[in-house]
Copies of this chain bind each other. A is one copy, B any other.
Amino acid sequence: MEKIKSGKTKDVFRLESGHILLKFKDDVTGKDGVFDPGANEVGLSIEGSGDAALRMTRYFFELFKEKGIPTHYVTSNIEEKTMEVLPAEVFGQGLECICRYRAVGSFFRRYHSCVEEGKDLDGLVEFTLKDDAAGDPLINQDAMIMLGIASAEEYDLLHKWTREISDVIKAVLAKKGLELYDIKLEFGKDAEGRVMLIDEVSGGNMRVYKGDEYVQPLDLPGLILE
């Protein structure tokens, strides 16, 4: 197999079958040694973080399969920390699809003049471009369509699925007494243009609280999967 890319938290290989193999690493994003899922830099290495991300991702992707939500997931190997997926093209140069249930983080910093920190948001959807240098800029529907990042139909689908998938995850967490504050998802499309959920669904992509306590991403598999 051929190595295509060495990512921040995963290495990416092309298999002879044409499928893609993602090898989860123990590197997490953060700054100054503190794990921060919203950060753009790899800040530290935490033993078991790759394993935790893969187990969460497998759990949710299998759940989405049952629910008829298309994903790139094929199979996974927990021991090897690998996940086999369908090849997919990202939107633009990478698009983050965010669903927010509480006004925290970058959303609160942006709109602090007109919202209280922690205010309930009813599954508000936002899109940001993956562009570290430009600070992952927010992009609206008009710009996404006019810059050719998504067609009008794709935009509607991305918006709808971001909300629906996040609602599923929120409900799973709620059953465990956890509250999802916000989450970022990524979508891609196959050679025929079919849109599907890609990448991972793990503690590194979501902000979760138990009552007033922030739950560390690495504690999530223990609370959700067992």
Contacts and interface: CB of A to CB of B under 8 A. Distances in A.
Copies in the complex: 2
B146 A114 contact: no
A107 to B, nearest CB: 8
Interface in A70-115: 92-93, 107, 109-115
Contacts of A121: 146
Interface residues of A, number: 31
Interface of A: 92-93, 107, 109-115, 121-122, 124-127, 129, 131, 133-134, 137-143, 146-149
12 contacts: A93-B113, A109-B134, A111-B139, A111-B143, A113-B129, A113-B133, A115-B147, A124-B143, A125-B142, A126-B143, A138-B138, A140-B140
The 7 A-B pairs of least Cβ separation, nearest first, read A110-B137, A113-B131, A140-B140, A124-B142, A124-B146, A138-B138, A125-B142
